[in-house]
Chains A and B, each alone.
Chain A
Amino acid sequence: MTAVAVTPASPARSRPIRSFLKRDAALTLTLSLLAALILLTLIGPFLWRVAPDDINLSAVLQPPSVAHPMGTDDTGRDVLARFLAGGRTSMLAGLGIALIGAVVGCVTALLAGSMRGWVDTVFTWLTNSILCFPAILLAMAIAMALQPGVTAAVIGLSLHSFPWYMRTLRGEVMRLYGQDFIRSTTALGAHPGRVLFRHVFPHLVPIMILQMAAVFGAAVLSLAALGFLGLGAQPPTAEWGEMITEGQQFFLTGQWWIAGFPGLGLLVAVTLTTLIADRAREVLDPRGEFTQAK
């Protein structure tokens, strides 16, 4: 059929990402916006040199102004400074969760997918058992068992994110082992280790990146949710979810900026991530095989 000539006959995901960036203005835009946001939260504290913990009891609950572009909270702390610091907490923790999950998930997936047998059974049982808890509930229970804080939240959310990687990647490993190019390499007499690392692993990378984008977005949201419930970052550590909780009661009395800006930050960060992941999925995974929940 002629339509075949239109769609690339080769697996599209092997195309270099660079060429897509050049052509895809929307992706470039969203990527650079997210990069800007991350950069802002990372280097923001050097630009906006107000300490996020500095209280000023003579300037409490001030609306946004030139001196305080995002206003001040009930102890006179600068909301912008806390917004930047909170963003950094969120972003770093989100990245950490995405990375830890990816590493653990990838290793277990490779083990389970290549060794099969009881290794696979045990890992599958383990991940199934973890996945039947909602992420936030599990993270809450972990926070309860450990000291509530960012560390506990990262541990809890990573614990819930790695099975997602594991599940998807394991499926992909299994699929790859059924593929002719893997069989052909085995047929050449390649050592299983070589097959695993030179041929199977590189194919997992794009899926892992996709998954990381999804996990990052979900992790940032869950972290904020934990903060909102008082189980994430603990005061006075600035974190967007925790800031929303602190600003919650002021929402009704008109001081919207305390909880408003961090919520907006979350919305923008996660939406951008979702858009990027979406677009990347179309580029890297045109068949949509790895559409992942959450």
Chain B
Amino acid sequence: MSHASLPLLSPRPASPDEAPVLAVRGLRTDFEARTGTVHAVRDVTFDVRKGQRLAIVGESGSGKSALAMSLVGLVPPPGRVVGGSISLNGKELVGLDDNGMSQVRGRDIGLVFQDPMAALDPLRTIGSQFVETIRVHQDVSVRTARKMACELLAEVGVNDPARRIADYPHQYSGGMRQRVLIAMAIANDPAVVIADEPTTALDVTTQAQVLDLLAKICDERGNALIMITHNLGIVEELCDSVNVMYAGRFVESTSARSLFETPAHPYSQALLDCVIDPATTRRGAMPAIPGSPPDLSVDEPGCPFAPRCPIGRNEPRCATERPEPRTLSTGAVVRCHFASDITGGEA
């Protein structure tokens, strides 16, 4: 395993003694489909502390977006949170009515979405949407809100914001729109910013700029950042801790460094193997994960990764017994019966 990664810029370490801003315990979200119930989020537990940059990594269909929407109570119907608790600065969010949730959204939790092209109302100017966003939570005049918006836009790198605030979304490029959306997400200074695949829809060259911006903003303001992504490169570059999600569960929760140096779960390992670096790779075969992700509407008794796992494929235990989270010596929490066998050490 040779993804040597020596961080030049050390992210702010999470201080364990600080009370978590956001504490999620045993969160479960279901979608009632005609074909049966899809358990999209299954028993997810994690903490986010002030200034932390947490990554949630998974493939499409792993439940990571459903998780993000569950946190802000915007799971699209027919989906809903069916269990667990989300505690924001001690305030319970699960079971809160929509009005209560509305006060949390934007003010306590900011959201940045995947597709900036579709994330702004095309019929209204950037300014009016921005002002609206500010005035939902802050009792300020339209004029003040507009001024605040201009400042924020300048902060995220929009040139001449006083003029461009009157423009419509389609007059902005994709990258610029994502900057606007980031500015709107932090406009009410939320404690936590959730970014759901914020760069997937952008061109490669723009991606980097937007990521830099997100990091910078959160650093300056001290917001916690939850980065939801499938791209391990982003995780490596941006985040300090990682949760690897598979089939609705966190299969490995650890620090970014530990994940890249000593991935504990076979799935994490396989994912890392799939990452190819254009600078170093050569023509030839690459390691692949066989098979395809499981159907989320069935909840098998064993480890959901077992059929694709180099170890689990041949272990009867993996097919019958669900692995419970275990904490390893590295501090990683892993759901795997054989995690210790790979890394060679158990706490």
Chain A interface (Cβ within 8 Å of chain B)?
1-6, 23
Alpha-carbon separation in the docked complex, A5 to B41 (Å): 13
Judged by a CB distance under 8 angstroms, whether B156 is at the interface is: no
A5, B40: Cβ atoms under 8 Å?
yes
Q: A2-B61, A6-B31 are in contact. List 8 more A-B contacts (CB 8 A).
A: A1-B65, A2-B40, A2-B41, A2-B63, A2-B66, A5-B38, A5-B296, A23-B34
**Which residues of B in the span 12-57 have a Cβ within 8 Å of any Cβ on A?**
29, 31, 33-34, 38, 40-41
B296, A2: Cβ atoms under 8 Å?
yes
Judged by a CB distance under 8 angstroms, whether B284 is at the interface is: no
**Interchain nearest-CB distance for B229 vs A (Å):** 13
**Interchain nearest-CB distance for B40 vs A (Å):** 4
Could you list 21 A-B pairs, sorted by A, with CB under 8 Å? Answer: A1-B65, A2-B40, A2-B41, A2-B61, A2-B63, A2-B66, A2-B296, A3-B65, A3-B66, A3-B76, A4-B60, A5-B31, A5-B38, A5-B61, A5-B296, A5-B297, A6-B31, A6-B33, A6-B38, A6-B78, A6-B79
Which residues of the other chain, B, contact A1 by a CB distance below 8 angstroms?
60, 65-66
Taking residues whose C-beta sits less than 8 angstroms from the other chain, chain B's interface range is 10 to 19
Which residues of the other chain, A, contact B34 by a CB distance below 8 angstroms?
23
Alpha-carbon separation in the docked complex, A2 to B66 (Å): 6
Which residues of the other chain, A, contact B31 by a CB distance below 8 angstroms?
2-3, 5-6
A-B contact count (CB 8 A): 33
- A3 nearest in chain B by CB position: B76
Which residues of the other chain, B, contact A3 by a CB distance below 8 angstroms?
31, 65-66, 76, 79
**Interchain nearest-CB distance for B231 vs A (Å):** 16
**Interchain nearest-CB distance for B74 vs A (Å):** 11
Which residues of the other chain, B, contact A6 by a CB distance below 8 angstroms?
31, 33, 38, 78-79
Alpha-carbon separation in the docked complex, A6 to B31 (Å): 7
Of A1, A2, A4, A23, which is in contact with the most chain B CB atoms at under 10 Å from its CB? A2
Alpha-carbon separation in the docked complex, A3 to B29 (Å): 11
Alpha-carbon separation in the docked complex, A4 to B63 (Å): 10
**Interchain nearest-CB distance for A256 vs B (Å):** 45
**Which residues of B in the span 59-78 have a Cβ within 8 Å of any Cβ on A?**
60-61, 63, 65-66, 76, 78
Which residues of the other chain, A, contact B76 by a CB distance below 8 angstroms?
3
**Interchain nearest-CB distance for B62 vs A (Å):** 8
Alpha-carbon separation in the docked complex, A2 to B33 (Å): 12
Which residues of the other chain, B, contact A5 by a CB distance below 8 angstroms?
31, 38, 40, 61, 296-297
**Interchain nearest-CB distance for A16 vs B (Å):** 15
**Interchain nearest-CB distance for B263 vs A (Å):** 24
A2, B78: Cβ atoms under 8 Å?
no
Which residues of the other chain, A, contact B63 by a CB distance below 8 angstroms?
2
**Interchain nearest-CB distance for A20 vs B (Å):** 11
**Interchain nearest-CB distance for A19 vs B (Å):** 11
- A7 nearest in chain B by CB position: B33
Q: Across the A-B interface, give the 9 residue pairs with the lowest CB-CB distance, nearest first.
A: A2-B66, A2-B40, A1-B65, A6-B33, A6-B31, A2-B63, A3-B76, A5-B61, A5-B38
Alpha-carbon separation in the docked complex, A2 to B76 (Å): 10
Alpha-carbon separation in the docked complex, A6 to B61 (Å): 10
Alpha-carbon separation in the docked complex, A8 to B78 (Å): 14
Alpha-carbon separation in the docked complex, A167 to B331 (Å): 64
A4, B61: Cβ atoms under 8 Å?
yes
**Interchain nearest-CB distance for B309 vs A (Å):** 22
Alpha-carbon separation in the docked complex, A193 to B66 (Å): 46
**Interchain nearest-CB distance for A25 vs B (Å):** 13
**Interchain nearest-CB distance for B318 vs A (Å):** 23
Alpha-carbon separation in the docked complex, A2 to B41 (Å): 9
Which residues of the other chain, A, contact B66 by a CB distance below 8 angstroms?
1-3
Which residues of the other chain, B, contact A4 by a CB distance below 8 angstroms?
60-61
Alpha-carbon separation in the docked complex, A2 to B293 (Å): 13
Interface mask (B140-162 → A, CB under 8 Å = 1, otherwise 0):
00000000000000000000000
Alpha-carbon separation in the docked complex, A63 to B318 (Å): 79
Which residues of the other chain, B, contact A2 by a CB distance below 8 angstroms?
29, 31, 38, 40-41, 61, 63, 65-66, 79, 296
- B31 nearest in chain A by CB position: A6
Which residues of the other chain, B, contact A23 by a CB distance below 8 angstroms?
34
**Interchain nearest-CB distance for A200 vs B (Å):** 30
Which residues of the other chain, A, contact B29 by a CB distance below 8 angstroms?
2
Which residues of the other chain, A, contact B79 by a CB distance below 8 angstroms?
2-3, 6
Which residues of the other chain, A, contact B33 by a CB distance below 8 angstroms?
6
**Interchain nearest-CB distance for A186 vs B (Å):** 29
Interface mask (B228-242 → A, CB under 8 Å = 1, otherwise 0):
000000000000000
Alpha-carbon separation in the docked complex, A23 to B34 (Å): 10
Which residues of the other chain, A, contact B297 by a CB distance below 8 angstroms?
5
Alpha-carbon separation in the docked complex, A178 to B312 (Å): 45
Which residues of the other chain, A, contact B38 by a CB distance below 8 angstroms?
2, 5-6
Alpha-carbon separation in the docked complex, A254 to B267 (Å): 81
Alpha-carbon separation in the docked complex, A5 to B60 (Å): 9
Alpha-carbon separation in the docked complex, A2 to B37 (Å): 12
- B295 nearest in chain A by CB position: A5
- B40 nearest in chain A by CB position: A2
- B78 nearest in chain A by CB position: A6
**Interchain nearest-CB distance for A148 vs B (Å):** 49
Alpha-carbon separation in the docked complex, A1 to B33 (Å): 15
**Interchain nearest-CB distance for B235 vs A (Å):** 19
Alpha-carbon separation in the docked complex, A5 to B40 (Å): 9
- B67 nearest in chain A by CB position: A2
**Interchain nearest-CB distance for A46 vs B (Å):** 42
Alpha-carbon separation in the docked complex, A6 to B296 (Å): 10
Alpha-carbon separation in the docked complex, A163 to B78 (Å): 39
Alpha-carbon separation in the docked complex, A6 to B66 (Å): 12
- B68 nearest in chain A by CB position: A1
**Interchain nearest-CB distance for B78 vs A (Å):** 7
Alpha-carbon separation in the docked complex, A6 to B41 (Å): 14
